[in-house]
C-alpha cells in the first residue's frame, strides 16, 4: 500500500483542507513531466499560505524519503525529483506538494473517547527532521486539558475548538498531521488509521510478569521481542530481525534498521519526533519513556504497546 497516497485520499474524503499536490509514479519521472506538474500546481510560488514545495516518496513496506523543504527553483525541484526516483525502488510514487507557511504544526491522535494534540512552533521541519523542539500537549475528554500549564502557549482556545470541529469527521483510532498557517488556516497532509490489538494483548497477557514502564504512546500497535539497547553506532550490528530497539533518541545511524525491528523505545521525544514519525511510516509500535535505556537491559523479553504507551516484561505470572 502507498501509505502517504492513501492518507491524502482519506483527507480529501473527510473534506479537510490540504496543501495542493500532484502524484507521479517514479518510473514516469522526467524533467518534462516535472515541469508539467509544476505548471499544473502553479509551483514555484511563495504567496498566501504557501512557501515553496516539498517532494515526498510513498512506497509499500518502507519509510518515505523527501526533498529539502520550501523548494522554489524549477531546476532544484527537478533535480530532487530525479534523485528520489533513482534512490528508490521501482513503483514508488512521488508526491509533489505545497508547503504551508506555518505558525505552528503538530499531530492529532483520536481514540474512542480521547483526543490528543501535540504542537510545535513553526512548520514541517520540526516534524520531518526529527528535531526535539518544545512540545505542547493537549488532551480532550469532554474539555481540553493542557499537560504542562507552565509550558509556553502555542495553541489558543479558538485553535483547539477548530481542531475539535475537524476531528468530528475523523474516524476513531486515527492519526493526522497538520499545520496552522500564519494566516490562521489549518491544513492536513498525512493520515493514518490503526487498530487496537486487544486480541494480541489478551493472548500474551498470561505471560506478563509486570508493567515496568509507562510512557508516551508515539506509534500505535502491539509487538513483542528481545530488547537490544543501542547507545552508539558501534552497537547497531547486535540488533536482529524482530528485536525491540531501545535508543536515547533517533538519528540517521540507527533509523536505517527500522525495517527489521518489531518495536522502538526512546528516552526522549514525542509524537512529533523523528523516531515516532518513522515508526508510524513502517507501522512499528513506538513508546517514548524517560531513562528507558537505563531501565531496560539487553536480552529482556518485552511487549511494547505503542497505542497505550506501555511496556511489559514477559515471564511467569507468579513471579
Question: 194-222: per-residue pLDDT in tens?
Answer: 655 554 554 455 555 566 788 988 888 88
Lowest mean pLDDT among 62-66, 86-90, 169-173, 237-241: 62-66
Measure CA 215 to chain center: 17
DSSP single-letter state for residue 220: -
Could you list the residue range(s) of the whole structural domain that residue 189 is in?
Answer: 102-193
Task: Please report whether residue 319 resides in a domain.
Answer: no
Task: Please report whether residue 69 resides in a domain.
Answer: yes
All three cell numbers of 277: 514519525
Task: Please report whether residue 248 resides in a domain.
Answer: yes
Segment 6-30 shows an average pLDDT of 93
**193 vs 301: which has the higher pLDDT:** 301
- Give the end-to-end CA distance of the chain in Å, rounded to a whole number: 43
- Of 291, 290, 284, 273, the closest CA to residue 306 belongs to 284
Q: What CATH number does the domain containing 178 carry?
A: 3.30.470.20
Q: In angstroms, rounded to a whole number, what is the distance separating the alpha carbons of residues 233 and 229?
A: 11
Q: What CATH number does the domain containing 88 carry?
A: 3.30.1490.20
Same domain, 297 and 209: yes
All three cell numbers of 69: 523543504
- Angle between the 74-87 and 31-41 helix axes, to the nearest 10 degrees? 120
Segment 38-66 shows an average pLDDT of 73
Same domain, 118 and 60: no
Residue 317's pLDDT is 43
Q: What are phi and psi of 33, to 5 degrees?
A: -65, -40
Cβ atoms 227, 243 nearer than 8 A: yes
DSSP single-letter state for residue 216: E
All three cell numbers of 208: 506478563
Q: In angstroms, rounded to a whole number, what is the distance separating the alpha carbons of residues 229 and 298?
A: 6
**134 vs 292: which has the higher pLDDT:** 292
At 279 the three-state DSSP class reads helix
Number of domains making up the chain: 3
List CB contacts of 199: < 8 A, sequence separation 6 or more. none
Cβ atoms 108, 155 nearer than 8 A: no
Amino acid at each position: 500500500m502507498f501509505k502517504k497516497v492513501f492518507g491524502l485520499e482519506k483527507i480529501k474524503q473527510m473534506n479537510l483542507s490540504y496543501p495542493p499536490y500532484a502524484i507521479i509514479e517514479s518510473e514516469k519521472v522526467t524533467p518534462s513531466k516535472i515541469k508539467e506538474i509544476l505548471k499544473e500546481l502553479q509551483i514555484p510560488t511563495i504567496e498566501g499560505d504557501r512557501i515553496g514545495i516539498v517532494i515526498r516518496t510513498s512506497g509499500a513496506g518502507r519509510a518515505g524519503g523527501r526533498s529539502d523543504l520550501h523548494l522554489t527553483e524549477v531546476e532544484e525541484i527537478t533535480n530532487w525529483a530525479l534523485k528520489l526516483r533513482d534512490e528508490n525502488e521501482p513503483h514508488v510514487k512521488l508526491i509533489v506538494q505545497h508547503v504551508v507557511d506555518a505558525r505552528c504544526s503538530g499531530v492529532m491522535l483520536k481514540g474512542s473517547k480521547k483526543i490528543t494534540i501535540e504542537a510545535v512552533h513553526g512548520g514541517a521541519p520540526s516534524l520531518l527532521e526529527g528535531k526535539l523542539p518544545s512540545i505542547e500537549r493537549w488532551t480532550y475528554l469532554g474539555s481540553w486539558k493542557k499537560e504542562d500549564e507552565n509550558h509556553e502557549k502555542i495553541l489558543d482556545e479558538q485553535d483547539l475548538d477548530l481542531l475539535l470541529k475537524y476531528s468530528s469527521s475523523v474516524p476513531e483510532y486515527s492519526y493526522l498531521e497538520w499545520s496552522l498557517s500564519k494566516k490562521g488556516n489549518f491544513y492536513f497532509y498525512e493520515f493514518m488509521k490503526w487498530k487496537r490489538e486487544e486480541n494480541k494483548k489478551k493472548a500474551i497477557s498470561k505471560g506478563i510478569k509486570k508493567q515496568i514502564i509507562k510512557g508516551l504512546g508515539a506509534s500505535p500497535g502491539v509487538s513483542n521481542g528481545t530488547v537490544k539497547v543501542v547507545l552508539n553506532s558501534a552497537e547497531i550490528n547486535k540488533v536482529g530481525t524482530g528485536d525491540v530497539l531501545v535508543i536515547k533518541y533517533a538519528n540517521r545511524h540507527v533509523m536505517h534498521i527500522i525495517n527489521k525491528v518489531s518495536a522502538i523505545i526512546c528516552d526522549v521525544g514525542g509524537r512529533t519526533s523523528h523516531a515516532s514519525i518513522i515508526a508510524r511510516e513502517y507501522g512499528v509500535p513506538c513508546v517514548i519513556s524517560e531513562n528507558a535505556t537505563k531501565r531496560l537491559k539487553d536480552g529482556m523479553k518485552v511487549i511494547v504497546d505503542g497505542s497505550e504507551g506501555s511496556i511489559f516484561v514477559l515471564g511467569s505470572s507468579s513471579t
